[in-house]
């Protein structure tokens, strides 16, 4: 009996190893992130850390967020853009300790529409920074928070 169990276990391990080397099974994925951008304190500092020099206001960017958030710990924010050649979308919360709350890379040919939940410590402007065609564009929406989410 022990010999059969050992052969079964060895065969299973060999099958798993073959599947991993063939790329059939998922492997660990690591996201890259820009530490300097996430450590920045203002919109201009975030844009500089991402490689830009200035931002231009755009009416082609839409921010969907509540006017009044009852709980700052989970504020839903969505951003869509009608700009051509969108490369990334970033969501910034002006009065948070670190302004950059989320950053999304948009592959070519993909609809520029993202959504997430952010934490807001207090009422603040929420900025959507869109990189399109090598330039940076911004739209802003004020969100009032009635219950703080960043330790409030």
> Hey, where are the domains in the chain?
1-30, 35-145
pTM value surpassing 0.85: no
Residue 27 pLDDT > 60: no
Query: In this structure, are residues 135 and 61 in contact, taking their beta carbons and an 8 Å threshold?
Result: no
* Residue 115, pLDDT score: 95
Give the closest residue to 122 by CA, choosing from 139, 92, 147, 140.
147
pLDDT in tens, 125-142: 999 999 999 999 999 999
| Architecture of the domain delimited by 35-145 | Sandwich (2.60)
Residue 2 pLDDT > 80: no
* Residue 38, pLDDT score: 85
């Amino acid at each position: 009996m022990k010999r059969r169990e050992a052969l079964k276990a060895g065969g299973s391990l060999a099958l798993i190893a073959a599947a991993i080397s063939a790329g059939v099974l998922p492997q660990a994925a690591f996201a890259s992130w820009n530490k300097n951008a996430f450590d920045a304190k203002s919109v201009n500092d975030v844009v500089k850390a991402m490689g830009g020099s200035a931002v231009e206001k755009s009416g082609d960017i839409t921010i969907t967020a509540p006017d009044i958030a009852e709980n700052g710990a989970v504020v839903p924010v969505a951003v869509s853009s009608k700009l051509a050649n969108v490369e990334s979308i970033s969501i910034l919360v002006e009065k948070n300790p670190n302004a950059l709350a989320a950053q999304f890379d948009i592959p070519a040919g993909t609809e520029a529409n993202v959504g997430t939940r952010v934490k807001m410590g207090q009422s603040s402007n929420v900025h959507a920074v869109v990189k399109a065609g090598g330039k940076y564009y911004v739209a802003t929406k004020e969100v009032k928070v009635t219950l703080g989410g960043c330790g409030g």
